[in-house]
Every structure is written in structure tokens, then in C-alpha cells.
Amino acid sequence: MPKDGPILEVKHVSKRFGAVQALEDVDFEVYLDEVVGLVGDNGAGKSTLIKVISGVYQPDSGEYYFEGEPVAVGNPKDANALGIETVYQDLALCDNLDVVGNLYLGKEKTQRLIPRVIEVMEEIDMEAEARRVTADLHINIPSLRARVAALSGGQRQSVAVARAVMWNSKIVILDEPTAALGVEQTKQVKDLICRLREQGLGVVVISHNLADVFDISDRIIVLRLGRRVATFNTMETNPDQVVAAITGAKLAEGEDVYHQRAGANS
Amino acid sequence: MDAETHFEESETKNGFIGEQWKALIRRIAEGEIGSLPVLLGLILIAIIFQLANDNFLTPLNLTNLMVQIASTGTIAVGVVLVLLLGEIDLSIGWVSGFTAGIMAVLSVKQQQPAWIALGAAIAAGAGIGLLQGWWIAKLKVASFIVTLAGFLLWNGALLYILGQTGTINLNDPVIIAISNTNLPVWFGWVLGVGAMLVFAYTQVRERSRRAKAGIRFSSMPATIGKIILISAVVLLIVFLLNLNRNPRQGEPIQGIPSAMLIFLAFVIIFDLLTRKTAWGRYVFAVGGNAEAARRAGINVDRIRISVFILGSTLAACGGILAGSRLFAVNQSSGGGPELLNAIAAAVIGGTSLFGGRGNTWSALLGILVIGSISNGMNLLALESSIRFMVTGAVLLVAVTLDAYARSRREVSGR
């Protein structure tokens, strides 16, 4: 459960794409040791918000705090340097490489025969460490030398998550991690997310599947039409309340949604 | 975890043959057929031609074959690299001709020493690759189009530098020697035994290092079996090449042909570079999923350009080998069937046209198939019309297998 202040906090974030106000004055915070479910209907601004957090988009206005300090995140590399990793739905894996190759892609351990020209990979070190990482996360794959193409959807998702967390990450953002998975594989991935929390990370999960969100999250944040309309403690709410917030049937934080919409229209 | 350890045990207990066999079955089921069909094809071709003409499998004919295929094979090594990226290079044939033309003009017309002529040819190859690679990577023009333009451009450039001469006969002893030397018998043995020892040492060291790191390592019988198998093949080849292959009386003809050794060296060097270095990993990554590679922080443009540079440089080396073997460079150097044979060889050998799958050994296997068909049909005194048609059919089968394997991978949802 949350402790101390949030590790990451953005405040008053607004982002406009042409005529569309994708985000309007949105606050968002993540604590260590917690899983936050970020939910909302299509077009609610979930993807825009995580892209702002991961440095892909620059907000029109807003503040960005990491460990309580204001920071500038101008591109994805800045976010990575802070320890923020994002796993997008496409996973960005190379199917033709094996698990070790994907885990270390772009960060190979090498012995420099001729720096920048011939750098021989330390396959044995990489495989041994990959073995530790996957064992720590209880990721079950047939072989670390199996090509990713030969893995199931859940295993591929697990590899993508392992790659995101193995570089001392503090926050992992998962975009629809269970969208394309079967029942058994969804369970694998949900177990993995819980293990990330046990290891002390802050995890943000975007999902359309409320059942999954209720299974794994500590808090649920609801976006609607570019605004943050509700925050729930998962233990103290039920799916009906969350659905109401998503669809705008009723605002959970006291306000009547029809009232707000009328205000926006006038 | 349980499943993983169980899996490992079952694999290591089966010994060498069992391990390889299981891995093979798994790969075929997953559509990772690689070089298997071409190996079977080669055996079939050898049997057919040997039955039709018992001169086919003689040391003399086989060494002739190796020397014939060395130049196109070297070009095919470059093609493999380009195909791994998921790109194509159609200019390689005329690049090999043009750069060989540079060598010939410098050596014969300008009377320059061999090292200048050779260095200029190789540098020109690298420069052409840089230009084409830059155009493809930075200006985002399809490699098919850029290298098709190069095909015409370098053909024209070859005609231009040859001018009225038409054919330049090479006379520099160093250049001639490149493709026309047989290495001393003792040198062949030193090389063969040396290669064997290096291979055995690296295998044993790899095994003990893996055991120490606590990761899966092959069983002792499997390691020894692999060493014995590879050693036997290497030593058998050295033995055959060191036999006197002169069918008549007189000076013995024996030893490893230099052109073959150069070609093999390229295959091995680029095999190591693609499998063992970070650069090689990035080539596969770009060929497999360029967007994922870019997001992993890999400089995709730099990888693309480097591969086109190497492709054209290897084409230049192939041109030099061909010029040296034929003692001449002329207006059609690099423009014959070599051009398409180099691409066909890479694909027949098992490198995928779709990028990200293959290895440089497929250049050797593929060019052996094409060379064997050509050589065998020459022995049978068949017309080149039939030769082309057969080679075309083989290429069609190879490409079909590649497409089939790809659809297998997709169907299995993988």
C-alpha cells in the first residue's frame, strides 16, 4: 500500500490536439508498492496521459514531479533515466531474436575488441542474469534461448515486462497488458504485476477489463473526456461505481455528472 | 520454474543426437526450417550427377567447382547481410564488375602496384555502399529502387572506365595469384588442424563457462560429438584437397585453392560478426522489427548504412576474385548470371527474403547448389538453356519454402 509521498506526480496537465482537448487540468500520482488502475472509455485521455508521463508527448501546460522534485521530461529517454518504463500494447519485441536477445536489446553486455566497431557480446553473463531476472519474477518460459516468436501471448507480455523492469526501474506503465490474452495467460500476467508490486515498484495499468483491474489494483483512477473524474480505493468500491464514473452516469467524488456536462456545454 | 528445470534435464540427458533431433523437430514445427532443405538438396544433387557422370565427385572437379563459385559466393555473403536487414541490393553484380574494372585500369593501364589497384577497388566498393546505404536510410527511398538505379549506374561506370579497350587482360602476378594459387600441402594441414583445435577449445571453454555461470550447458557426449563431427568434416576436406588431382603424369596439382580459402574466410568472419557482436545482433533486430530496434535505442540508420557498405565491399572482393580467376576484366564482368545467382544463392541457402532470419553459411550452401548444377550439367554437356531453367526451378522451390515457413510461423500464432 502507498507510503510516504508519491514517487511520481503530474499536476494540472493539459494537452490539446487541434480541436480536441485530450487532457484538461489532470493530476496523476503513483506511489511505490502500489498498482494503479487507469480506466476510462475510448478517447478519455488514458493513452495521452501515459504518453505525457513517459515523455512521448509534451503537455501544453502542467508540472512534473519525481520523488517530490520538479523535473523536466522532454523525451522518452529522460523518463527512462528517472526509472520510468512503459510497455505498449505492441510490446516492441523482435520475434526473430531469443528471450535473452530481447531482454538486452540495445543494452548488450559486451567486451570491446574495437570500441564502437567490434564489440563481442557476453552471452553467458547475459543469459545468467536473464535467468535470475525471470526466476525472480517467476516468469515461466520454456527456454531463454527460445525465439520470442515461439512464445505464447502471456509469455511475450512477460518478456516485455521483464525487459522494462530489469534496469532498476521504479515505475512501470503497462498499456492493456491482458487485452489479447486467454484466461490462463491473463492470470500469468496478473500474477506478474502483483510480483512487481511486491518488489516495491509503482505499477500503472491501463485496462478496459474492470474485472482485471479490481483483481490487481490498489487504487483506480478514472478519466472521462480528458478530465480526472474519480479516484477509488479498490478495497472500498465496487464495479458499479467505477462504471458509473467511466460512463458519466454519476460522479463518484460527490458531483452529479449531468450537472457538470451541462456546465461544459453552456 | 519447475517446468523450466524439467525441460532442461530432458534435453541434456538425450545426448548429442537426441538433442539435435529434438531441436530439429521443434524448429520445423515452428517454421524455422533454415538450411535443412538445401542440405538435403545438395546431397541429392551430388548423387544424381555422380550417377550420371562419375567425374563429378572427383577431387579435381570439386576443387574446380569451389574456385568457380568463390567469387559469386563472396558476393552472396554480402547479399545475406542485406537480406537479414529485410532489404535487397540489385546493384551488387555491376558493383563487382565496376570495382574490378577500377582494379584492372589502375593495374594495367596506369601501371600501379597491386596493393593500390586492389585497395582502390575495395575502397570504391565501400564508397558505393555508403552512397546507396545513405540514400536508402536517410532519404527513405526503397532499397529495391536505389540499387536498381545503381545497377544501371555502375554498369555505365564500368563501360566508361574501360572506354575503347573493351577487355583488359590482367598481368600483375599478385592479382593473378589471388584466385590461381594452390596452398602448400603442409599449410593446408596446419590450417585444418589449427582450426580444429581452436574450435574444440572454444567449445570446451564455452561449456565450462556456462556450467560455472549456472546456466544450461550441453552434455559432455554432445560437446565431444560436435567437436568430432566438425573436425572430421574439416580434416576430410583438407585431405581431399591435398590429394594430387592431376589426372595426367607430371607436376602434381594439390593443396587448398586460394580462392576457396578466401571465400570460406569471408563466410566464417561474417558468421562470427553477425552472431557474436552487438552490431550483428542489431542487424537481426532491424530486420526483425525495425521499430522495436529504434525504440531500444539502436541507431537504425547507422546499422542499415553499415550493412550496405559491407554488401558492396564484398561485391568488390567478389569482382576481384572473378577478375583474377579469368585473368581479365571486360564489359560484361559482373553482368552475367552471377548477378542474380548471388541473390538466388543466399535465398536457396536458407536466408529469408523477409528479413531477420538466416546466416552467412547459406551463401556457401546456396552457391554450392547453383555451382553444382552448373558444373554437373557442363560435365553432361547440356546446354546452358537447360541449366538456367533448372536453376530457376530450384530458386522457385527455395523461395516457396521460405514463404511456406513464414506462413507456418504466422499460423502457429507465433
| CB-based contact B298 A143, cutoff 8 Å | no
| CB-based contact B298 A93, cutoff 8 Å | no
Q: Which pLDDT score is estimated for B410?
A: 65
| CB-based contact A140 B4, cutoff 8 Å | yes
- DSSP, collapsed to helix, strand or coil, labels residue B111 as coil
ipTM of the complex: 0.85
pLDDT under 50: residue ranges of chain B:
1-13, 413-414
Q: Which amino acid is at B326?
A: L
Q: Which pLDDT score is estimated for A39?
A: 94
d(CA A240, nearest CA chain B) in Å? 36
Q: Could you say which of B7, B281, B357 has the minimum Cβ distance to residue A143?
A: B7
- Taken as a whole, chain B contains a residue count of 414
Residue B341 · residue B390 · CB < 8 Å: no
- DSSP, collapsed to helix, strand or coil, labels residue A167 as coil
Q: Which pLDDT score is estimated for A70?
A: 93
DSSP A249: S
Q: Which pLDDT score is estimated for A262?
A: 35
Average pLDDT per 10 consecutive residues for chain A, totaling 266 residues: 76 92 93 94 90 92 93 89 91 92 92 83 92 88 88 90 89 90 88 92 92 93 92 91 86 44 36
Mutation target vs B (from A75, A91, A96; most B CBs, 10 A cutoff) = A96
Q: For residue B332, give the nearest of B100, B85, B12, B123 by alpha carbon.
A: B100
Q: Where are the alpha helices (DSSP H) in A76-152?
A: 76-82, 99-103, 123-136
Q: Which pLDDT score is estimated for B325?
A: 94
Q: Which pLDDT score is estimated for B379?
A: 87
Helix axis angle for B384-411 and B361-379, nearest 10°, is: 150
A77 contact residues in B (CB cutoff 8 A): 297
Residues in Cβ contact with A61 at an 8 Å cutoff, skipping those fewer than 6 apart: A12, A13, A14
